[in-house]
Structure 1
Amino acid sequence: MRHQFGQGQSGQGRSGQERSGQERSPAGTARVTELAAALRATVRGEVDFDAAGRALVTMDASNYRRVPVGVVAPRDADDVAAALAVCRAHGTPVVPRGGGTSIAGQATGTGVVLDFTRHMNRVLAVDPEARTAVVQPGVVCDTLRDAAAEHGLTFGPDPSTHSRCTIGGMIGNNACGSHSVAWGTTADNTLELDVLTYRGDRARLARGGHEVPAPLRSAVETLVADRLALLRTGYPELPRRISGYALDELLPEKGRDWARAFTGSEGTLGVLTEATMRLVPAPAARALAVLGYPDESAAAEAAAGLLAYGPLTVEGMAADLVGEAALGVLPAGGAWLFVETGGADPAEARAAAETIGRAAAADLTGWKVVADPAGQRALWRVREDASGTATRLPDGGEAWPGWEDCAVPPARLGGYLREFRGLLRDHGLRGAPYGHFGDGCIHIRIDFDLLTPPGIARFREFSVELADLVAAHGGSLSGEHGDGLARAELLPRMYGDELVGVFEEFKDLWDPDGGLNPGVLARPAPLDANLRFTGLPVKPGPLAFSYPHDDGDFSAAVRRCVGVARCRVTTPGSDVMCPSFRATHDETHSTRGRARLLHEMLIGEVVTDGWRSPEVRDALDLCLSCKGCRSDCPVGVDMATYKAEFLHHHYAGRRRPAAHYAMGRLPRWLALASALRLAPVANTLAGLGPLAALAKHLGGIAPERDIPPLATAPF
């Protein structure tokens, strides 16, 4: 009942039917039903074609939204093969998905989504002598790092989402993280990959390609041999070149490394089922030099010069991303570089950090060295939360990804940043740059208006001009997060039409049916199609709460969730968020999952019952209203308030569950019992089995629970 929420924004881009690839006709519905039945008969893992399951994977952490027909959680590689066979027989595309933290839209759902986080999420082996680990694609980055740490090793790449992103997703995007100046990209740490093509062929990818199926190997080697000159000259030289397919890794002088060539392919070539990753020695001790500069351009100019000291990180951020509390622990400045050093012991690590501080001192507004682990973690938390906090500007305005991770040669970063700031001013846009300054990679959230046609047109115009600016500086449109739906359309501006044509040929050799993640990388969808804001209503109302920080707009409150998934962290720590996800490990019961369901409720395409939606009600049922998300979520999602809003409308004019009356009015019942001195009587009756069972039934209390005794003396 979409009309409940008022007029939806039409925006631009494709319709919901085009986004999802579904047909609304009875014949289309029958085909989806047949597909679901065939998958359930073949796959041992869960098959979910319900509205709630689909709603959870329509989005990742990007500006984009695509609606799948269903979700499959395979248990092993054979399950993946079975799912691919069924989807192929039904002409249905497949998208592999990890933690859903991608920022370019490549993990959004279309066709059938393969969720690897449910079952295929283990570290299978660690070989400390060879410094390798064998993992499944759904294993979380930090889980691998913890397993490696038992042997004094670590996995080098560590995106800011390392506590919830998966290795499969990192391979798909060729993710990097803050330590890439020391340990490289995911491709630099990938040794062997087991993959399945859409047609079900198994391939083990490694240097030489000896275990690649002969027809595929021969065809790809012919493609490379025919384009040797183009592949040798068509790629820019820089440490963070992530955009496009890494076909140059198949050149003979590079050892024809099929694993590296596959890394960064964003689920468009094959489906990963197992990976052998390189591990590196973990420094016994670390220290952090925090260097203050007048502004981010000065910090950017200085970053490349610090690489000679062999740091583990050179991360940059400006003051407009730092809250008042964090400013108090940073040295004076308008921007900072976080330069981490390692050593055999704390003294050696501190000495290395102090050497860097003294060497840079002439250009600094202030600096400090932090050697204690707790202090370092607190400062890194400020940096890692930037991808969320940058979504809200200091005046409360919304800002979005889309140009989240362009990269240029580090020596050109300062000049690029100045021109980038000028381009923002020319378009009347704002944003706060931060990121991996040592590698020339900049993150930023920009206050695009993605709700109205004029705003979306400006988004497109800015994107084209920025792509040209990046290319002029010898850079890469993506330096970490991949091209996805956000930048793939613009790859010809970086590589030229001829090399992009070779990308399409490469894709066709792997996936001649076009069944894997269509619309991404090869023959991409327009960058202004599939926007996740299309269809959201304008200020749905009337509302029970005022939402003062969102201009009274419940849609804007729900939009706060950008999908960075801090609520999916399950390791012990200082965070409260999200207790129901920690208990269930089910996305439905995470803050992000609930926000996604509310988003889909407002659009009305997948979740169609509006405020009466049973899917949203069930997802909110385990929410404790603890307000943990209000403090722990980088963008301040307040699910307790959203739950109260939803339940107010959901039960308007209807009888509520008994527990709502029993527990919601508990203070009244306790006051009445105290006034009438009924506590001793109530306690006696609660001890009688049949009466206690009746009371629990009437009060909506689970029969397994004991009724706690009332205090006989009021207080």
Structure 2
Amino acid sequence: MESLKRDLQRLIEGEVVFDELSRTIYSSAASIYRIKPLGIVKPKHETDVIHLVKYAAERGIPLIPRGGGTSRTGNELGDSILVDFSKYMNRILEFEPKEQWVRVQPGMILDSLNKFLKPHKLFFPIDPSTKEYCTLGGMIANNSSGPHAVKYGATRDYVLSLEVVLSDGEVMTTRPVPLGRRESKDPETLEQRIYRTMPGLLQQYRKPMEEERPFTLKNSSGYDLWRLEAHECLDLTSLFVGSEGTLGIITGAKLRLLPLPGKARGGLIYFDSLDHVGTATQKLLELSPSMLEIIERQIIDLARKQKVEMRPYLPERTEALLFVEFEEGDRDRLPHKFIEAERLLVQQGKLATSIKVARNEEETAMFEKVRSISGPILNKAKGPKRPLAFIEDGAVHPSLLSRYIMGLREIFRKAEVEASIYGHAGDGNLHLMVFLDLREDSEAKKMLELTDACYDLILSLKGTISGEHGDGRLRTYYLRKQYPNLYPAMVEIKNLFDPDNILNPGCIVGGETNPLNQHLKYESQDQGRMRGTFFDKEVVRTAIETCSGCGKCRSYCPVVQKLPEEWAMGRAKATLLREFASGALDPKFFDSHQFKEVMDSCVNCKRCLTECPSGVDIPWVALSGRAHYLEKHGEPLSNRFFTSTRTLCE
């Protein structure tokens, strides 16, 4: 390990980090998994990436690109070198406002880009729930979308070209290349071999491409083979989008922009039966909404109990509600959209029981809180069973939405589990959170059984197991089920682009075993604990385990704003303490100066208490960690002097 670190430090101008605490901090993020990497490289520029890839290719060392660490699927984790783009490669490279495009590095935060674009009256329209802290490289890797996808589509629709470092260190810039064109170079480069091979491969698998294409409005499962050929050209841009770093490492992206949207207004539509939700969704799509979201009964009932101020907007005995938003350049046209929606759904169709339309800014803000209540309600749920995202991204055609939800409810009833359903009704993409305690072996087994049942349901409706989050460790094993005859094409493509399997191995193209319930964050009940420390208190362990690792602390922590380091984030503190508590990290590090430095990076501003989706009291967690250190080592002389008021006054 030391020789590997020294070699990379000679090659890389950026940072090379191989210490045990840093590797532990990077071992988990927003998914249910934890896998300690070999080390972390933070490249400063594309040349660093080229040197790293060439070095890794010569020695068969796997590499995993990493952005904000917000993936639910675990595709940024592995026993590999993580390539963290968030610290240095996070800038705008070119901007053409008249032509409405921008070229960015992969570590740039989406929210930062849109703040830059706003004075130019432009924006990048894809808006995942993590928009304040996710990176554009991660969005491209997963083909992310969000609640406005019903109007604006997914990331793939806005990527014009990519700069990609291939598995041998060669740099490719994607563009339309005329079919049949041959550039003569001797020897043949990897890029040339790719362009020579891909047309024949696509032709060979034309029939399964037609037969196994999901009947959905969105799809982020497997490689996109359907949009590569157009106008007698081959453009590999769409193939790299959604490839999760398995075909090449993206170092730059040229993105299409749109003018800022017009005025918007939202409304809530209530249903006393799930039978009508699919038909109602179809009717609303005819009116071209900019957002169409669904929340079903379990979350509505939880919100009524916990949020008194929302009760007037969440009637009792509501089976489901749709939040619909319309955008118009002319504000005066907005009321007509809702009048037509009420006519179609309530008066004429008898599909919905009623509709409420926001009348002013105050109600607009409340409607938005209702729309986005699912995450805060679920993340702050108490008890040993936590809401888990492992079948959270299936999508079906909106016309089949009612059948999908009723099928899910039946699966959860038979399995005797609690589960919450919400998501994007406009494109049939539902997010499911199932309450399980993965510290129990029986619950981990139930996770596998539920996954099989839910994916069978989705595929029976010709849906996709991933609408916008990608495959990662969660779903790669199941791609054979979704694409029984097309999956071999994906294997061939992986072997063509990455013959030595060094780029994010195990994602999209995986092995014969299912990694779904392996390397989980949560240990079984019989795992070792650190006795005689503050971990003995159940309240401490609960606080640590409540952190989902979502990464939102990147967007509000004042320390991280000035010091863009993973170890400065709130989730890093929770991760370290969780690993100590489980016995996975040697207790000697608990008494190290580096551990105290991580805990000291919290300035006790208390913003976690109001902005953390899980409500984790990171200041208290950090203070507890510091207290343990001081019990062992005592306070430094400088601290004792400046905190002793009596001494200073004498």
Q: TM-score, normalised by structure 1?
A: 0.82
Q: For residue 565 of structure 1, what is the aligned residue in structure 2?
A: 551
Matched, 1:499 2:486: yes
Q: Which residue of 1 aligns with 2:541?
A: 555
Per the alignment, residue 330 of structure 1 pairs with 313
Distance verdict in 2 for CA 1:183–1:373, change over 3 Å: farther
The answer to whether structure 1 residue 307 and structure 2 residue 285 are counterparts is yes
State the AA in 1 paired with 2:66: R
Q: Which one-letter code corresponds to 1:65 in the other structure?
A: R
The equivalent of 1:201 in structure 2 is 170
Which of 374, 380, 399 is residue 411 of structure 1 equivalent to?
399
- Residue of structure 2 aligned with 1:148, choices 114, 117, 121: 117
CA spacing shift, 1:564–1:461, aligned 2, 3 Å: same
Write out aligned runs for 1:469-480 (5 A): 469-480=457-468
Change (3 A) 1:660 1:357: farther
Per the alignment, residue 711 of structure 1 pairs with none
Give the TM-score taking structure 2 as reference length.
0.90
User: Which residue identity lines up with residue 345 of structure 2 in the other structure?
Assistant: A
* TM-superposed deviation, 1:89: 2.8
Deviations 1:563-614 (A, max 9, x none): 2222111xxxxxxx42322332222222112112222333444565254243
Q: In structure 2, which of residues 498, 520, 534 is the aligned counterpart of residue 531 of structure 1?
A: 520
1:132 alignment counterpart? 101
Q: Which residue of 1 is the match for residue 450 of structure 2?
A: 462
What's the counterpart of residue 426 of structure 2? 438
Q: CA–CA distance in 2 between the matches of 1:66 and 1:309?
A: 46
1:265 aligns with 2:260: no
Supply the distance in 1 between the matched residues of 2:118 and 2:274 (Cα, whole angstroms). Answer: 34
What is the match of residue 677 of structure 1? none
- SS of the aligned residue for 1:103 comes to coil
SS at match of 2:419: coil
Contact 1:601 1:609 in 2 (8 A): no
Tell me whether 1:280 sits opposite 2:258 in the alignment. yes
| Structure 1 stretch displaced more, 268-277 or 636-645 | 636-645
Deviations 1:648-706 (A, max 9, x none): 33333542334654566x6xx4xx69xxxxxxx93xx8xxxxxxxxxxxxxxxxxxxxx
- Mapped contact 2:242–2:470 kept (Cα < 8 A): yes
Pairs within 5 Å for 1:25-36: 32-36=1-5
Deviates more, 1:190-199 or 1:580-589: 580-589
The code of the aligned residue for 2:17 comes to D
What are the residue-to-residue correspondences of 1:177-326 with 2, within 5 Å?
A: 177-208=146-177, 213-251=191-229, 256-294=234-272, 299=277, 301-318=279-296, 319-320=300-301, 322=303, 323-325=306-308
Which residue identity does 1:578 align to in structure 2? Answer: C
Instruction: Tell me, yes or no, if the aligned pair for 2:599 and 2:622 is still in contact at 8 Å.
Output: yes
Question: What amino acid does structure 2 have at the position aligned with 1:116?
Answer: F
Aligned to 1:514: 501
What's the counterpart of residue 713 of structure 1? Answer: none
Cα offset, 1:258, TM superposition: 1.2
Residues in 1 aligned to 2:8 and 2:516: alpha-carbon distance in whole angstroms: 32
Q: Distance in 2 between matches of 1:596 and 1:421?
A: 33
User: Which of 142, 165, 168 lines up with 1:173 in the alignment?
Assistant: 142
Shift of 1:353: 4.2
In structure 1, C-alpha distance between the alignment counterparts of 2:67 and 2:395, rounded to whole Å: 24
1: distance between equivalents of 2:112 and 2:273?
37
Asked if 1:580 corresponds to 2:559, the answer is yes
Please state whether the residue corresponding to 1:652 is helix, strand or coil: helix
* Pairwise CA distance, 1:235: 1.3
Give the distance between the partners of 1:85 and 1:434, measured in 2 at CA. Answer: 44
Written as runs of structure 1 = structure 2, the 5 A alignment for 1:697-708 is none
* C-alpha distance in 2 between matches for 1:325 and 1:661: 47
1:637-652 map, 5 Å: 637-652=616-631
CA distance, structure 1, for counterparts of residue 338 and residue 586 of structure 2 = 53
- Post-superposition Cα deviations, 1:410-433, rounded to whole Å, max 9, x if no partner, equal 110111101101101111211111
Instruction: Check conservation: 1:391, 1:445, Cα contact below 8 A.
Output: no
Structure 1 residues 273 and 410: CA distance shift in structure 2, 3 A: same
Q: Superposition pairs for residues 579-618 of structure 1, below 5 Å?
A: 579-605=558-584, 608-609=587-588, 611-618=590-597
What amino acid does structure 2 have at the position aligned with 1:587? E
Question: In the alignment, residue 258 of structure 2 is paired with which amino acid?
Answer: V
1:616–1:246 Cα change, 3 Å: same
Say if 1:299 and 1:126 are closer, same or farther in 2 by CA, change over 3 A: farther
Aligned partner of 1:390 in structure 2 is 378
Change (3 A) 1:522 1:653: closer
* CA drift at 1:274: 0.7
**Cα shift at 1:378:** 5.4
Tell me the SS of whatever aligns to 1:117.
Answer: coil
Determine the structure 1 residue equivalent to 2:186: none
Structure with higher Rg: it is 1
- Post-superposition CA distance 1:166-205 (Å, at most 9, x none): 1110110010101111110111111111101121121112
Question: Using the alignment, how far apart are the partners of 2:137 and 2:545 within structure 1?
Answer: 27
Compared CA separation, residues 56 and 314, structure 1 to 2 (3 A)? same
Post-superposition Cα deviations, 1:93-152, rounded to whole Å, max 9, x if no partner, equal 100011110001101243111111111112223323322221111111112222332232
CA distance in 2, matches of 1:413, 1:355: 22
Deviations 1:604-634 (A, max 9, x none): 4456525424333211112123332123211
1:339 aligns with 2:317: no
For the residue of structure 2 that corresponds to 1:133, the secondary structure is strand
The alpha-carbon deviation at position 492 of structure 1 amounts to 1.6
For 1:9, the equivalent position in structure 2 comes to none
Q: CA deviation at 1:355?
A: 4.0
- For 1:241, the aligned partner's letter is N
Q: Judge conservation of contact 2:476–2:508 (CA < 8 Å) in 1.
A: yes
Q: Distance in 2 between matches of 1:187 and 1:71?
A: 28
Contact kept, 8 Å, 2:606 with 2:619, in 1: the verdict is yes
1:385-415 per-position Cα deviation (integer Å, ceiling 9, x unaligned)? 6345423447674111111111011110111
Change (3 A) 1:545 1:42: closer
Paired letter, 1:213 = E
Deviations 1:201-233 (A, max 9, x none): 211123347898211111222211222222222
RMSD: 2.7
Distance in 2 between residues matched to 1:175 and 1:546, nearest whole Å: 41
Shift of 1:475: 0.7
Conserved 8 A contact 2:608-2:618: yes
| Equivalent-residue separation in structure 2 for 1:153 and 1:201 (angstroms) | 34
Question: Aligned partners of 1:528 and 1:386: how far apart in 2?
Answer: 25
How many Å separate the matches in 2 of 1:278 and 1:418? 39
Q: Does the 8 A contact of 2:163 with 2:174 survive in 1?
A: yes
Q: Percent identity?
A: 29
Q: How does 1:77-92 map to 2 (within 5 A)?
A: 77-92=46-61
* 1:34-72 Cα distance to aligned partner (Å, 9 max, x none): 211111111111111122322222122111122111111
SS in 1 for 2:72: coil
Unpaired segments of 5 or more residues in structure 1? 1-31, 570-576, 674-680, 686-715
Deviations 1:535-558 (A, max 9, x none): 7847755565997xxxx2533321
Task: Classify 1:555/1:331 alpha carbon distance in 2 versus 1 (closer, same or farther; 3 Å).
Answer: closer
Uncovered stretches (5+) of structure 2, i.e. residues with no partner: 184-189
Query: Is the Cα–Cα contact under 8 Å of residues 219 and 464 in structure 2 kept in the other structure?
Result: yes
**Greater Cα offset, 75-84 or 94-103:** 75-84
